[in-house]
Chain A
Amino acid sequence: MLWLERRIVAALAGPDDQRTGGAITEFVDTSFRTMPQHLRAGVVGESILLGAYVRLRRGPNPSPAAIVASMEQWEHHPIGVIRQYARLLSSLVIFPQQEIVDG
């Protein structure tokens, strides 16, 4: 996973991920590694561009709250691929997070 992807997963799943030995991070990481390469390439491109934007706006070490705020903005962004990026990342975290809580 890239810098921004790790930050997003940590911000959305932090305590749950630590409690489960990184199971949520592992699920997201495996999803990225197994998804079709052309889709992954698109996600990588967005992670690099949005990661640069986040570093510029919020500094090299943004807080989890700042990352969550960025995600909320992107979920309603006028550009479709940015909305889809935010939805993909949050879906990849929410499903394992809730399944693990349930388990």
Chain B
Amino acid sequence: MTRTIDTEVLVIGSGAGGAVTAARLAEAGRSVLVVEEGPWFDPDAHEPSSLEEFTARWRHQGACAALGSPGIAFAEGRCVGGSTEINMGLYHRLPAHFAAEWRRKYGIADFDDATLDRYATDIEKTVTVSFLPGEAPASSAVLEHGADALGWKSTEFARVFAYDDKGHGTKQSMSRTMIPKAVAAGAIIQPDCTVLKLNRSGRRVTGATARLGYADGSSELVTLRADQVFVCGGAIQTPTLLQRSGFRHNIGPGLKFHPTVKVAARFSHPYDHDEVPVHRVTEFDPFLTIGGSASRRGHVALAVADAAPSDLDRVLEEWQNVVVYYAAIRSSGSGRVRALPGLRAPLVTYGLTDSDLSRLARGLVHLGEVLLAAGAVELFPSIAGGPIVRSREDLGQWWTALTRSRSNLMTVHLTSTVRMGDASDLTGTDSYGRVWDTDNLRVNDASLLPDAPGVNPQAAVMMIAARNADAFLST
């Protein structure tokens, strides 16, 4: 006999979607239980992008990939706060033209600019969206200087960061913002709780069966009984759980990535490495964005080893001179998430199109142009075997070098596996995240975005989650 835990609202997952849902519903007086598969850490427990953070907060320690030609590595958070705990904290409202396009194509109700702006403004009050209080670090200004030299547009992106009087910034992840808000309003957060499947009775979901872990390594099977269930596990875990529970209509196809290539740029003098660059080259928006990446010694080594393993020792002697940058594209390809019988992790596949590959090559060349214009002396692309580039004339080699067999791609933006909208032939839920043919099961995370937004999706996820939570409260 398993222990039963009762709640009015069960929220599965505590990332940008789940945390906003929990805070919104708890503040409206609902009894809310949030279950999170990963542990609950102090937000300051690990240095960003460090080995310790990979081990503690990243799903599979970051070792996961979508199969395809080429495979694409992807990252997800696995802790209270979800991927907001491991991302860079960049904040970008959903571009209005995408909202309009999605509204038309997928029949999304109440998805007009005024509604979305109202929710975005509301969210921004809680998470503290800000710009750098002073001068940009040199590693970030590189992008601005390079773009200026080429006559291209660039900008500083806002972040969910709060700054103290001395200008020291702290990322406002969910564990610092929405989770405390939910807890203050009475929500219960249960970490180390893996939901195995949802329990159904006709059109209703009665709750879930879960495994609750304890600090001594033991675990307990529990039944979570709820009147309402919100699945907020993100674009990979949410469709996996739904499929495993027997929900299949438009659940899992349509996965969207922002495929990304990287370049390690060596300069003639040391650069800062404490913060991720916040400037972006926006000349080619929305199909191609150029920005900066985490550049700890380990990241620099990985980036250089792709292109020139034999040069690794030489470059690492002055690794402080090297910063890693990226070019990310909006992809015309798509992927799929499939739950595999008997296995915990799903099979994730992604079909990169020829035009995606061409766009990535273009992104790589443009990234190289910016970095050389800003003073980089040597560029190492994420292409197996290089070639290393030292002058603008050499950049043309990257067009032909970036092939399916030699490219090394990754992404941190995963969306669109349970699209929302009233066009039920295209979507997995209605306009507010309610799964088709159910009365009380909702999705409220990045899965709902009908397409990749071309920018960091966290703001869009939070805004949509707040909107859907309010729609639920009004029923």
Using a CB–CB cutoff of 8 Å, the interface residues on chain A facing chain B are: 27, 30-31, 34-39, 72, 75-76, 80, 83-84, 87-88, 90-92, 94-103
Contact = CB atoms under 8 A, between A and B. Distances in A.
B298 A36 contact: no
Contacts of A94: 298, 301-302, 305, 312
Nearest to A81: B71
B51 A27 contact: yes
B50 A99 contact: yes
A84 B405 CA distance: 9
Interface in B12-54: 50-51, 54
Contact of B60 (A36, A83, A95, A103): A36
Give the one of B63, B316, B344, B347 with max A CB within 10 A: B63
A89 B32 CA distance: 43
Contacts of A95: 51, 54, 298-299, 301-302
B271 to A, nearest CB: 15
A64 to B, nearest CB: 16
Interface in B290-315: 296-302, 305-306, 309, 312
21 contacts: A27-B51, A27-B61, A30-B55, A30-B61, A35-B63, A35-B64, A36-B345, A38-B347, A39-B64, A72-B309, A75-B309, A80-B405, A87-B306, A90-B305, A94-B301, A95-B54, A97-B298, A97-B301, A98-B298, A98-B301, A100-B51
A38 B300 CA distance: 29
A29 B70 CA distance: 25
Nearest to A76: B385
A54 to B, nearest CB: 19
B195 to A, nearest CB: 18
A38 B55 contact: no
A31 B51 CA distance: 12
Interface string B382-424: 0011000000000000000000010010000000000000000
B52 to A, nearest CB: 9
Interface string B55-71: 10000110111000111
Given A95-B51, A95-B54, A99-B297, 15 more contacts: A30-B55, A34-B60, A35-B60, A38-B340, A39-B63, A75-B384, A90-B309, A91-B305, A94-B298, A95-B298, A95-B299, A95-B301, A98-B316, A99-B51, A103-B51
Nearest to B408: A87
A71 to B, nearest CB: 9
A11 to B, nearest CB: 14
Given A37-B345, A98-B316, A92 B296 contact: no
A39 B61 contact: no
A39 B65 contact: yes
B297 A98 contact: yes
A95 B64 CA distance: 15
Interface string B155-197: 0000000000000000000000000000000000000000000
Contacts of B384: 75-76, 83, 87
A76 B60 CA distance: 27
Contact of A96 (B51, B64, B346): B51
Contacts of A102: 296-298
B215 interface: no
B49 to A, nearest CB: 10
A9 B316 CA distance: 20
A101 B51 CA distance: 11
Contacts of A72: 309
Contacts of B64: 35-36, 39
